[in-house]
Chain A
């Protein structure tokens, strides 16, 4: 199994507002605190490489306290020259949120060239509230996503200049300099929450599918659908196409790990993902059929999830190194996920580094049967 260290770069704060997105005033953001946090978070990502993680992950979110990386490419640029081995996974760029997605093709190519071909390029639509924060029309989201993805992939692979004439994006000259170092292009991942349209689209292109903050039963179901879609497209999915974003909390014993997780892992769900119901599904962001499926299952809102829901549902795993190993086996052996992207939060920078060290020494080595395998061969392209 491959391990990627995932970071949201949250601005951890408590508040009583109805939403941590869109309307939570940025007067709550103290740039002096922000400076300390950014450096701690970047240190954690750099440390992950030294401790043996295969990759480190950044991602894009706008106007909230949940994740303070509005430009993941800026963060990736900081990491590229401070690391030398780990893959840098940008999970991802919100394609429809850009007015000029050719800029993504250019920035990723820059990062890929400077990093010596270590970039993984995630393509995402951005989540609901981001259509409020960027004013991009959510009814265009899906179409803009597919169109921007096509543009970027062609920009990386077809010799320029060529014209591109889409519904949303039009260029008389597509001819980005530089071109990416990885050929035909950096691996593309699709972080998603399991819409059937995205599953099919990703499977057809061999783009790894990353389940984000999802209960284990749903992960199993979507992995099944993804594998079926791969078979329909004439090939068998590599384990490295099945990826999960799974917060992990490890400590000397189960009781201590639970205490830490209760205090810090819950924040993501109870504060970080708190928002008005209307923000989750802006008009037209979801198809009517998908919305009906969603309503029929009547899942809990993140703020309604208890610690027990998260732990029993397999949204997160916590425990002693032995317990975490056992729980991780479910993902590696039963779900057959090839890559785990996990963030950790010990409650302080030092405690987080300690937790990472414990994980790298007492958990990771037990999952290294595939140490010699390059997870990017044959996938993501």
Chain B
């Protein structure tokens, strides 16, 4: 299990989970995964110095009212790199975290050795409207996100205490601030993806029902030279549904791309 430290990034306090040795790899989690140290993170920590901050308002990180747009989060993570004195990192983001990672890459590809996006949301894809998941009951949520529903247990809340329910509300509030409308995308991002010069790997669950494979094709078209790996036994979260295979793919892609330091 990784150590949790409290870090202040330009006045914004956050929790940072960190473990492993090697080149620094910044992992940006998806909705509901803040403060978690999961199997695939442990696998990555065998080869990388894995930094897993909880987004403000997620996990143990307090809410930050100044964050009202997805680009605020991208700037927040650029500030994090500066705070930690990291010139360059491998950047990995899943779902919502993938969206932040893509925004960051359009701003500062020169800070990235590699970019891995796991079933990211964040762009408008013709013919597809993301199913609205705020307010749905937990069973429907799991049915939409997971191909293997058992994998959802890794994200199950510890209990139903008032503090836990308040934490869940804080998380969904932090999400809603940046993604309620437009829902799950930034209309400006898609055109900007062409600015990404970092070697990019797209990892996608074959059975993703939130952002289906058609979305993967759109991302591949927009990011110059991006590669796509499909995970056949996964829905929206292959890092939870096929953690070993996903970690192996990330290591295979990122390890050779590190700069000597």
Q: Write the residues of chain A forming the contact surface with B, with a CB cutoff of 8 angstroms.
A: 18, 22, 132, 135-139, 276-279, 281-284, 286, 288, 291-292, 295-296
Contacts and interface: CB of A to CB of B under 8 A. Distances in A.
Contacts of B166: 288, 291-292, 295
Interface in B177-222: 177, 180-181, 183
Nearest to A22: B135
Contacts of A138: 176, 180
Interface string B95-133: 000000000000000000000000000000000000010
Contacts of A283: 134, 169, 172-173, 175-176, 180
22 contacts: A132-B134, A135-B181, A135-B183, A137-B180, A138-B176, A139-B173, A139-B176, A276-B135, A276-B136, A278-B134, A279-B135, A281-B169, A283-B169, A283-B176, A284-B177, A288-B63, A288-B166, A288-B169, A291-B166, A292-B162, A295-B162, A295-B165
A282 B162 contact: no
A282 B173 CA distance: 8
Contacts of B177: 137, 139, 284
B47 to A, nearest CB: 37
A278 B169 CA distance: 10
B137 interface: yes
Contacts of B43: none
B36 interface: no
A287 to B, nearest CB: 9
B112 to A, nearest CB: 30
B165 A282 contact: no
A132 to B, nearest CB: 6
Nearest to B167: A288
A279 B136 CA distance: 8
Residue among A139, A282, A291 with the most chain B CB within 10 A?
A: A139
A284 B173 contact: yes
Contacts of A277: 137
Contact-residue size bin, chain B (C-beta under 8 Å from the other chain)? 10 to 19
A278 B142 CA distance: 15
A286 B170 CA distance: 10
A278 B173 contact: no
B136 A278 contact: yes
Contact of B176 (A22, A284, A291): A284
Contacts of A291: 165-166, 169
Nearest to B168: A283
A277 B141 CA distance: 14
A110 to B, nearest CB: 30
A137 B135 contact: no
Interface of B: 63, 132, 134-137, 162, 165-166, 169-170, 172-173, 175-177, 180-181, 183
A137 B179 CA distance: 9
A137 B177 CA distance: 7
Contacts of A296: 162
Contacts of A18: 137
A195 to B, nearest CB: 15
Nearest to A293: B162
B136 A288 contact: no
A81 B170 CA distance: 48
A170 to B, nearest CB: 16
Contacts of B170: 288
A139 B180 contact: yes
A135 B177 CA distance: 12
Contacts of B132: 132
Contacts of A139: 173, 176-177, 180
B105 to A, nearest CB: 26
Contacts of B137: 18, 276-278
Nearest to A298: B162
Contacts of B180: 135, 137-139, 283
A276 B134 CA distance: 11
A302 B183 CA distance: 30
Given A283-B172, A283-B173, A295-B165, A137 B134 contact: no
Given A135-B180, A284-B177, A278 B162 contact: no
Contacts of B165: 291, 295
A138 B180 CA distance: 8
B260 to A, nearest CB: 45
Nearest 9 A-B pairs (CB), nearest first? A278-B135, A283-B176, A283-B172, A284-B173, A283-B173, A137-B180, A295-B162, A139-B177, A135-B181
B261 to A, nearest CB: 41
A370 to B, nearest CB: 44
Contacts of B162: 292, 295-296
Contacts of B175: 283
Given A276-B137, A282-B176, A288-B173, 9 more contacts: A136-B181, A137-B176, A278-B135, A278-B137, A282-B134, A282-B135, A284-B173, A288-B63, A292-B166
Residue among B136, B137, B173 with the most chain A CB within 10 A?
A: B173
